[in-house]
């Protein structure tokens, strides 16, 4: 995104000769300083940004004018970066990459005809697209976690008839969950709550991990190890591992 190269300056001078709005900005650095300053006419700034967007969409020295757009909107995009970093929890490099990709995509497709504030449209639109992509990724992670859980269950890791809210009309679901938790505690130890959350409360590994400061993969492995221990115990001494009443009398 260099704007001080000889090539960049040639492109800027060529456009400046035919664009009257740039007459007050002899060098590209002066244009960036004006766009990022708190003072200055917002309508003039929007006109300059709209012109830069048009130049990018026309393909005229696109990399250079993208750099001018990026730098000119940097205060707003920096705010997007900070907010997305907090909300997504992704590494900084991934957040920057997502913002850059969303920004470039938006600049390429935005129609200026219906835009009143170019700066606001580009900044807010970039943040919206980054968070939308993050939410889609989160949903896919949860879906994959549920599919993995079903695959593990089909593989015979555990075949307890787990209680459901309608399993008993006289006892609440919460009471049955607590009974099953108390039954599991001596067998699965510190992983009991995760086992209950995943298999009974239908939470996915992403949610379980986030609430315990773990990675989804670590949470998945701990739950699967706990289920594996239960299965081994059942094979070794089945008479010592009766199911709780809330499990409907099922067995491993």
Report CA-CA distances (Å) from 229 to 15, 24, 192, 201.
Answer: 71, 74, 12, 21
Region 197-203: mean pLDDT is: 73
**165 and 131 share a domain?**
no
Q: Which residue has the higher pLDDT, 223 or 200?
A: 223
Domain of residue 220: give its range: 156-247
2 band by pLDDT with thresholds 50, 70 and 90: low
Q: Is 69 exposed, middle or buried (0-12, 13-18, 19+ CB in 10 A)?
A: buried
Q: At what angle do helices 173-188 and 192-199 cross, to 10 degrees?
A: 140
Mean pLDDT of the chain: 78
Residue that terminates a domain, selected from 107, 136, 165: 136
Query: Comparing 1 with 204, which gets the higher pLDDT?
Result: 204
Token output for 55: 């130049």
Is 146 a domain residue?
no
In this structure, are 114 and 75 located in the same domain?
yes
d(CA 177, CA 192): 11
- On whether both 64 and 184 belong to a single domain, the answer is no
| Whether the Cβ atoms of residue 83 and residue 130 lie closer than 8 Å to each other | no
Query: Same domain, yes or no, for 100 and 164?
Result: no
Reported pTM: 0.56
Please state the length of the chain.
252
150 pLDDT more than 80 = no
- Closest by CA to 223, choosing from 250, 248, 251, 200, is 200
Q: Are residues 81 and 110 in the same domain?
A: yes
Number of separate domains in the chain = 2
């Amino acid at each position: 995104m260099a704007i001080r190269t000889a090539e960049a300056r040639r492109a800027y001078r060529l456009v400046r000769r035919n664009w009257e709005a740039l007459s007050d900005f002899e060098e590209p650095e002066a244009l960036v300083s004006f766009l990022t300053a708190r003072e200055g006419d917002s309508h003039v700034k929007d006109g300059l940004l709209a012109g830069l967007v048009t130049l990018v969409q026309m393909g005229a020295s696109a990399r250079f004018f993208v750099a001018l757009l990026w730098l000119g909107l940097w205060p707003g995009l920096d705010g997007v970066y900070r907010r997305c970093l907090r909300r997504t929890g992704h590494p900084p490099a991934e957040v920057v990459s997502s913002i850059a990709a969303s920004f470039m995509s938006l600049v390429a497709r935005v129609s200026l005809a219906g835009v009143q504030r170019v700066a606001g449209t580009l900044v807010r639109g970039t943040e919206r697209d980054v968070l939308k992509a993050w939410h889609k990724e989160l949903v896919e992670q949860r879906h994959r976690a549920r599919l993995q859980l079903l695959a593990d269950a089909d593989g015979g890791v555990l075949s307890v008839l787990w209680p459901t809210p309608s399993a008993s009309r006289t006892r609440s679901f919460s009471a049955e969950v607590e009974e099953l938790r108390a039954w599991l505690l001596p067998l699965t130890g510190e992983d009991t709550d995760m086992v209950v959350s995943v298999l009974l409360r239908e939470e996915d590994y992403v949610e379980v991990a986030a609430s315990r400061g773990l990675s989804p993969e670590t949470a998945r492995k701990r739950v699967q190890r706990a289920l594996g221990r239960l299965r081994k115990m059942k094979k070794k001494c089945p008479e010592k591992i009766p199911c709780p009443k809330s499990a409907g009398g099922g067995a491993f």
